[in-house]
Amino acid sequence: MKKYQYLLAGTALGFALSVSLPAHASGNYEAGKAKSTPCAGCHGADGVSTVPSFPKLAGQNSDYLYHALKDYKAGKRKNPIMAGQVEALSDTDMQDLATFFSKQQGLYLKY
């Protein structure tokens, strides 16, 4: 009976964790780093842009970055510079870039 309770508690904890943890795009960090050179010109080498009109990417949620890139590519989000940049990116490229920038130090959750 006790064993069953532990099992139940473990399952509940696992479920709670899977719900609360942010979803991460399953990109490759090193591949993303290698592909990030064109981004650095505006967003900074580590995603900490020094130009106020260009957003910082460092530390941003990876699935948000991936979503933003996909929206630019689909034309749902419009920006002349970004439209050109994403044109040649594959789905894998976008996931890799999102993963790389999400793991840099910069943005933080602010209440």
Rg over CA atoms, the chain:
18
> What's the CA dihedral at 90, 80, 100, 52 to 10 degrees?
180
Contact between 34 and other proteins (CB under 8 A)? no
List Cβ neighbours of 78 (8 Å cut-off, separation of 6 or more): 72
- The residue type found at 106 is G
Q: Which of the stretches 6-14, 32-40, 51-59, 83-91 binds other proteins when contact is defined by CB under 8 A?
A: 51-59
Contact between 52 and other proteins (CB under 8 A)? yes
Contact between 74 and other proteins (CB under 8 A)? no
Contact between 42 and other proteins (CB under 8 A)? no
**Which of 33, 35, 56, 73 forms a contact with other proteins (CB under 8 A)?**
56
> Smallest distance, Å, CB 11 to other proteins?
20
Core vs surface per residue 20-31: b (16+ CB within 10 A) or e: eeeeebebeeeb
> Smallest distance, Å, CB 52 to other proteins?
4
Contact between 109 and other proteins (CB under 8 A)? yes
Residue 56 carries which DSSP code?
Answer: P
Contact indicator for 46, 83 with CB cutoff of 8 Å: no
Contacting residues toward other proteins, per CB under 8 A: 20-23, 49, 51-56, 59-61, 63-64, 66-67, 76-78, 106-111
